[in-house]
Amino acid sequence: MATQFQSHVCKFLLLFILQCIITTTTLAQAPAPAPSGPTNITKILEKAGQFTTLMRLFKLTQVGDQINTQLNNSNQGMTVFAPTDNAFSALKSGTLNSLSDQQKVELLQFHVLPQYLTTSQFQTISNPLRTQAGDSASNKFPLNITSSGNQVNVTTGVVDTTVANTIYTDGSLAVYQVDKVLLPMDLFGPPSPAPAPTPEKKKKSGADDDTPATDDSTPSADASGAVGFGGHLHGFMVGSVGVITLIALFCL
């Protein structure tokens, strides 16, 4: 009996030790929780849906990479206004194709603010807002945002729209849905008026006149180029009459 009891005890201990080894090995091989990846504007838009055209343009112009790099390598927040696929479809046919590569970059950068803004902060901002596209003071890329209650209005001087939805916000990046493409004045505004022509200077008279004064005593040329001798002929005739008169008096 003692031998059987010892055998059962040994088997139990062996099984217990084997179970401990298996459990320890399993726990050692279990992967640690994966760290949250870097912020990626494309993945955010892909998860939200209905932003296929914007994602394609971000990739084509590399503006998406610029946003990701800036977010993950600096403490500067950003705000992105994301037009939906329907917003791009509503543009006049050929609008995007008419833009150069640089103009496409400027168009997308016009949708990006180099600061993080919540919807409540829209009530206290100073317009016009500076975008990644650059100059806002000389009526090239002005973006104006006003807030009334729960409605946030966005205007560019060419397009007026509202913020339709908050897609993403994490304290560093805010992405808001807009139902129109934000068209900047510099690319889609009315053309600048042509400069007024410079008035021609009036021709001076008198001594400054380029036309020389005509002297009646000098021969003049008519249209055929012939020279007139009116003054000399008159003198010749007067002289001839005088000679004839003297001859007639002498003969008498």
What are 15-70's pLDDT values in tens digits? Answer: 555 454 444 333 333 333 333 578 899 999 999 999 999 999 999 999 999 999 99
The per-residue pLDDT for 6 is 57
The per-residue pLDDT for 65 is 96
**How far lies 82's CA from each of 102, 111, 114, 178, in Å?**
19, 7, 15, 6
> Confidence class of residue 233 from pLDDT cuts 50, 70 and 90?
very low
* Contact in structure between 154 and 143 (CB atoms under 8 Å): yes
> Confidence class of residue 118 from pLDDT cuts 50, 70 and 90?
very high
pTM of the model: 0.62
The mean pLDDT value of the chain amounts to 76
Question: Which whole number is the average pLDDT over 161-185?
Answer: 95
The C-alpha atoms of residue 118 and residue 171 are separated, in whole angstroms, by 9
* Contact in structure between 158 and 185 (CB atoms under 8 Å): yes
> Confidence class of residue 183 from pLDDT cuts 50, 70 and 90?
very high
The domains of the chain, with CATH numbers, are 41-188 (2.30.180.10)
Nearest partner of 75 among 167, 173, 161, judged by Cα: 173
